Amino acid sequence: MKQFPANARILAKELEPILLMMEQGRRQSLANMSKGWKKMGLTLLGTAVACILILLVLSYTDHPAGTEFIILVIAVLAGLTFCFVTFNKYIKGHSTAYRYAYKHQIIGGMSKLLHSSMTYSPRRGISETTFRDAGLYTTGIDRYGSEDLFSGEIGKTEIMFSEIHAEDKRKRTNSAGHTSTHWVTIFKGVFFIADFNKNFRSWLTIRPDFAEKSFGWFGRKIQAFSPNLIRLENPEFEKAFVVHGSDQVEARYILTPDMQERLLTLRNRYGANIRLSLKKSQLYLTIPNVDNWFEPNMKLPANDITQMQTFLNQMSHLFNVVEMLDLNTRIWSKH
């Protein structure tokens, strides 16, 4: 299959028939949404007029106490119900349908042009169980969401990644004794899984070294009491990460000097708060990100090159993990 560079203009030519169809659909959806807004506006105006007329009529007639209130509530509820139905049908419905179609057809099409085996599923994600089993976060998860699942092969390496938002539910009590609930983000960003290029049986976690960064020599001494701590010879790596694992010998087989340098490069590229774990010959990586990626803007034409390039950059940003960690270089029994 022909290989394509991550250039939106080139890929737009390959997807031109789909883009034209998507643009027609976008314009029709916008027209329907405009009708929806007009219907909602007229409904609210009609409800207000009806309420005024009801009050005028009732002011000249005898009626039981509280009648005005009951009739007004009924009128307002009827108007709001119609607006709710109209919003979901004409506005939210068309917006959701377009976003899904764009993701499926355009983002999915671009990913497959870049890597023929790649599959993109906008409404699917990586399971909470898999995220927990990676062992990168110890806080309990009370709310979990995942979407925008990519899966396939880059060279010899099987990968998958999706956006994740994991939260912890907490309570706090103020000075007056009132208790309120709030949500704390455990992780928000991209969760990346790849087949590692070496077989191993032990487990490793590689996290940011907050203790040494915050407390220096004292933090390093505190870490010495941590179970399963693994020390490595690269001083720069030791300052950036703290490593725990179940097998000292196998840890060094996995984290070779070259791999340590690659992980430092990965950290420079993706941020100081990345975390990795290696279990069952799989690599798990979390890349924090506050933005919501792969979300098309309905106000832009479907063939808008700038928007397409943004999505291509986001995909390439994650596909490049394979090359940066040299995962396609197979050692011993890996093929």
Between the two ends of the chain, the Cα-to-Cα distance in Å is 21
Residues of the chain with pLDDT under 70: 1-5, 58, 62-68, 90-91, 210-226, 331-335
Give CA–CA dist 140/168, Å, rounded: 6
Q: Are 209 and 215 contacting, i.e. CB atoms less than 8 angstroms apart?
A: no
- Specify which residues 180 forms β-bridges with: 172
Q: pLDDT tens digits for 108-145?
A: 999 999 999 999 999 999 999 999 999 999 888 999 99
Q: What's residue 177's pLDDT?
A: 72
Sign of CA dihedral 305, 306, 311, 315: positive
Q: pLDDT tens digits for 60-92?
A: 776 666 666 777 777 778 778 877 777 777 667
Q: What's residue 334's pLDDT?
A: 55
